Amino acid sequence: MGKGTKTNAMPGDSLDLLSEQDKVLAAIFAGWDRSDPASASTKGGAVKLAYDHGTLGKLLIGHAAVRVAAKRDIERVLRKVGHDDLADQLTSHLRHARELLDRLDELARGVEAVGVGGSADFAHAVGELAWTIRSDLGTEPATLVPRIAAALGEHRKELHSAKHVAAHAPSHPGTTERWYDDVPVLVRIHALYDQLRGYPRAVSVPYSNAPLADRYNSLP
């Protein structure tokens, strides 16, 4: 989570972070739907909506990246302690989410918010990601996080902190594991590299609606 993706009160570990990001992404998707430029009745209104639409599009890339990173961290410890069943349930949609995140990152990289907001390809990929995450949440009943917490027991302390996970969340994670994905310093460099080439971000003035991005970043 770089400067363009932050929370008002960072939760404790990756399991807390996952619960938070589910709520934030639900709000961002709802805001994305409301800001569709096609709903504007005037040209001026369409430009303003595209500006907000693109800002939210850029913002969801950062938050989706953090969600992916939180799941991978939780999976790491679940498999280490022998709870492969829960790990499989948690990550059932992860590969497709990573594929979509790569596509969104490529489409938005170096593009200002208005351009992102008016891109049909980007909108299509967002629609796929929204469907994937909502489908994912449909397979994650409210009991899943408590079940994972119970299964981890004292091993929960082996989860990384939310701050660590957010800092090690590449926006272009790739669909397959690579050798350096288990080397924290290299993952951090990967995340920083993605943030730099992803400029302008959702909080980049005047290229995006920074106050709007900050409003969503302060959720839940």
* Residue 157, C-beta contacts closer than 8 angstroms, at least 6 positions apart: none
Q: What pLDDT was estimated at residue 176?
A: 82
- pLDDT band of residue 133 (cuts 50, 70, 90) is confident
Q: What does pTM read for this prediction?
A: 0.90
Any domain includes 56? yes
Are residues 96 and 132 in contact, defined by beta-carbon separation less than 8 angstroms?
A: yes
- pLDDT band of residue 182 (cuts 50, 70, 90) is confident
pLDDT at position 193 over 80: yes
Q: What pLDDT was estimated at residue 45?
A: 81
> Chain-centre distance of CA 163, in angstroms?
14
Any domain includes 63? yes
Planar angle of CA 58, 5, 211, nearest 5 degrees: 75
For residues 127-132, give the mean pLDDT.
Answer: 92
pLDDT at position 2 over 80: no
For residues 103-107, give the mean pLDDT.
Answer: 97
Any domain includes 9? no
Q: What percent of the chain has pLDDT over 90?
A: 75
pLDDT digits (tens, 9 = 90+) for 41-64: 666 688 889 999 999 999 999 999
Domain extent, residue 211, equals: 15-217
For residues 83-103, give the mean pLDDT.
Answer: 94
| Chain position carrying tokens 């959702």 | 202
The number of distinct structural domains making up the chain is: 1
Any domain includes 55? yes
pLDDT at position 151 over 80: yes
Q: What pLDDT was estimated at residue 1?
A: 46
Are residues 217 and 5 in contact, defined by beta-carbon separation less than 8 angstroms?
A: yes
Angular region, 174: left φ>0, alpha ψ -120 to 50, beta rest: left
Any domain includes 45? yes
Are residues 171 and 194 in contact, defined by beta-carbon separation less than 8 angstroms?
A: yes
For residues 132-160, give the mean pLDDT.
Answer: 86
Any domain includes 187? yes
- pLDDT band of residue 125 (cuts 50, 70, 90) is very high
Any domain includes 6? no
Mean pLDDT over the full length of the chain: 90
From CA 218, how far away is CA 89, in angstroms rounded?
29
Residue type, 62: G
* Torsion angle (degrees, nearest 10) of CA 92, 95, 100, 104: 120
Residue type, 129: L
Any domain includes 31? yes
Residue type, 79: R
pLDDT at position 37 over 90: no
Three-state DSSP class for residue 20: helix
pLDDT at position 76 over 70: yes
